[in-house]
C-alpha cells in the first residue's frame, strides 16, 4: 500500500468521523486493475459501543446492489437466454399486468391505463421502465400513504406491483426497475437471484462477504444503521435489519457486502470483465454496458420526498449525466479528477462508488446513515476521490 496515499486517505476518513457533523464510522477501499491499493476504516460500527469499523465491516449496501444484478442480466444476455429488447413479461409475466398511472380520481382512486408498449429488460436496466421509489417520487409516496402501497424495504412482491409513471422508454425515472430485472433473471433460470449472483459473480471474484442473507461471520461484523435527525445528531437504529429471508431477492437494494468485496467487483469492470477465478463478462459486453444508453436524454436529480430517508440528491449539480447498464455516467470531466465517461452510483444509506475504466482506478465508500445524500458522507467520498486523483497526478 502506497504510504502517501494511505496517509492522505486515512486522514480523510478520520476527519469525517471527528468532524461536525461527523459520521459514526466509515470503511473505504480503492482498487486499480491489479489489486486493492488502499483499504481503511475509521470510527465505530455503532455509536456508543467499542465496535471498531474495519474494511471488512458488513453493510446493507442498498442500491449499489443494482450493478451486480445488471451483471447477472448481462451474463444471461451473453448466453443467449435474455433478449434485452424483448418484452420483459416473456420472462417475468407479472410485469405485463401493470398499467400506467395518469393521476388520481376525486375519491383518491388511481386513474390507470394500459401502457402503449411492453417494457423491455434494457429499459429496466436504463431506468426507463416507468417505475419509481416513494422516497423520490410524489405519486408513489401518495400511493404509499393513501393506498397502502408497501415499501420496497419489505422485499415483497406486493411492494413491486406498482403502476408505471409513463410509457416505457419515454422518460427516465429512478426506481424499482432493477428489482424487476432481477425477477427477469429468476424467470429465465428458475434460480433465485442470490444463487445466480453467487455462481456468476461472487465465486469468480472471490467475494465471500456478499449475500442477501448474512452468514454468521457477516452478522458479527454488521454495521448498525444510524439516523441523522433534523438537528444533525446521529441516533443508532438497533431495530433496522433488511429481511434475512426475503420473499423477493431485491435486485435493486437487498444485498449485504463490504468495501473490500465491492472493490473486487469494481476491479472486474476495470479489467474488461475478467476476474481472478474466471471471466465474468466478455470485453465487448463491458464496453456496451459502459456506454450511454439514453441517447440525448439526461438523468435528473432525486427529490427527497421522505426527508427521513433522503435529502435532495444529485452528483455534480449542473453537469450533464447519462445512464448505462446499470451505472450513472458523467458526460463531462468532474471536479474530483474523474474523467468524462466514468461509471458511478450510490446506495441509500450513504454508500458511494466510482469506476474509472480509462485510468484503471475505482473506489467504494461505506457508511450506514439515513437520510441519503448526507453532506458529511458525500463530502468525505468526494474528498477521498479527489485525493486519489491528486496522488495519481503526482506520480505521473
Query: In the predicted model, is pLDDT for residue 287 greater than 60?
Result: yes
pTM of the entire predicted model: 0.98
Q: Examine residue 21 and say whether the peptide bond preceding it is cis (omega within 30 degrees of 0).
A: yes
Please tell me which residue in 133, 174, 262, 353 is annotated as part of the active site.
174
- C-alpha–C-alpha distance, residues 265 and 31, integer Å: 10
Give yes or no: 219 in active site: no
First to last CA, the chain: 17
Q: SS3 sequence, the chain?
A: CCHHHHHHHHHHHHHHHHCCCCCCEEEEEEEECCCEEEEEEEEECCCCCCCECCCCCEEECHHHHHHHHHHHHHHHHHCCCCCCCCEHHHCCHHHHHCCEEEEECCCCCEEEECCCCCCEHHHHHCCCCCCCCCCCCHHHHHHHHHHCCCCHHHCCHHHHCCCECCCCCCCCCCCCHHHHHHHHHHHHHCCCHHHHHHHHHHHHHCCCCCECCCCHHHHHCECCEEEECCCCCEEEECCCCCCCCCCCCCCCCCCEECHHHHHHHHHHHHCCCEECCEECCCHHHHHHHCCCCCCCCCCCCECCCCCCCECCECCCCCCCEEECCCCEEECCCCCCCCCCCCEEEEECCCEEEEEECCCCEEEEEECCEECECCHHHHHHHHHHHHHHHHHHHHHC
Give yes or no: 389 in active site: no
Give yes or no: 63 in active site: yes
- Encode pLDDT of 4-42 as tens digits: 999 999 999 999 999 999 999 999 999 999 999 999 999
- Encode pLDDT of 57-81 as tens digits: 999 999 999 999 999 999 999 999 9
Average pLDDT over residues 139-159: 97
**pLDDT value at position 352?**
98
- Encode pLDDT of 268-280 as tens digits: 999 999 999 999 9
Domains, the chain: 3-64+209-395 (3.40.710.10), 77-187 (no CATH)
Query: In the predicted model, is pLDDT for residue 1 greater than 80?
Result: no
Q: Which three cell numbers stand for residue 74?
A: 448481462
* Neighbouring residues of 55: CB distance < 8 A, sequence distance ≥ 6: 27, 28, 29, 39, 40, 41, 258, 259, 260
Please tell me which residue in 38, 44, 57, 66 is annotated as part of the active site.
66
Please tell me which residue in 38, 44, 57, 63 is annotated as part of the active site.
63
Amino acid at each position: 500500500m502506497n504510504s502517501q496515499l494511505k496517509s492522505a486517505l486515512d486522514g480523510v476518513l478520520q476527519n469525517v468521523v471527528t468532524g461536525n457533523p461527523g459520521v459514526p464510522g466509515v470503511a473505504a477501499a480503492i482498487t486499480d486493475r491489479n489489486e486493492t491499493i488502499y483499504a481503511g476504516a475509521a470510527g465505530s460500527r455503532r455509536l456508543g459501543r467499542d465496535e471498531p469499523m474495519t474494511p471488512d465491516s458488513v453493510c446493507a449496501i442498498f442500491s449499489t446492489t443494482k450493478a451486480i444484478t445488471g451483471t447477472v442480466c448481462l451474463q444471461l444476455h451473453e448466453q443467449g437466454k435474455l433478449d434485452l429488447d424483448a418484452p420483459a413479461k416473456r420472462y417475468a409475466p407479472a410485469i405485463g399486468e401493470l398499467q400506467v398511472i395518469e393521476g388520481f380520481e376525486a375519491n383518491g382512486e388511481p386513474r390507470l391505463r394500459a401502457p402503449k408498449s411492453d417494457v423491455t429488460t434494457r429499459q429496466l436496466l436504463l431506468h426507463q421502465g416507468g417505475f419509481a421509489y416513494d422516497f423520490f417520487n410524489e405519486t408513489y409516496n401518495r400511493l404509499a400513504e393513501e393506498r397502502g402501497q408497501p415499501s420496497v424495504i419489505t422485499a415483497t412482491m406486493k411492494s413491486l406491483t406498482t403502476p408505471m409513471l409513463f410509457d416505457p422508454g419515454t422518460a427516465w425515472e429512478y426506481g424499482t426497475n432493477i428489482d424487476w430485472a432481477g425477477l427477469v433473471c429468476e424467470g429465465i433460470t428458475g434460480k433465485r437471484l442470490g444463487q445466480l449472483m453467487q455462481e456468476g459473480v461472487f465465486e469468480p471474484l472471490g467475494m465471500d462477504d456478499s449475500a442477501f442473507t448474512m452468514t454468521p461471520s457477516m452478522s458479527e461484523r454488521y454495521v448498525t444503521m444510524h439516523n441523522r435527525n433534523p438537528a444533525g445528531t446521529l441516533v443508532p437504529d438497533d431495530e433496522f435489519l433488511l429481511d434475512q429471508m426475503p420473499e423477493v431477492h431485491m435486485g435493486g437494494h437487498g444485498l449485504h457486502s463490504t468495501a473490500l468485496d465491492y472493490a473486487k467487483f469494481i476491479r472486474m469492470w476495470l479489467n474488461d470483465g475478467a476476474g481472478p477465478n474466471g471471466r465474468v463478462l466478455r470485453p465487448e459486453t463491458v464496453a456496451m454496458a459502459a456506454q450511454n444508453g439514453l441517447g440525448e436524454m439526461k438523468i435528473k436529480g432525486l427529490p427527497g420526498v421522505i426527508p427521513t430517508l433522503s435529502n435532495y440528491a444529485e452528483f455534480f449539480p449542473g453537469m450533464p449525466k447519462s445512464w448505462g447498464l446499470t451505472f450513472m455516467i458523467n458526460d463531462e470531466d468532474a471536479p474530483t479528477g474523474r474523467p468524462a465517461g466514468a461509471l458511478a452510483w450510490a446506495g441509500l444509506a450513504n454508500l458511494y462508488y466510482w469506476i474509472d475504466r480509462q485510468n484503471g482506478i475505482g473506489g467504494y465508500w461505506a457508511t450506514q446513515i439515513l437520510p441519503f445524500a448526507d453532506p458529511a458522507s458525500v463530502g468525505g467520498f468526494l474528498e477521498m476521490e479527489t485525493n486519489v486523483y491528486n496522488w495519481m497526478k503526482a506520480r505521473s
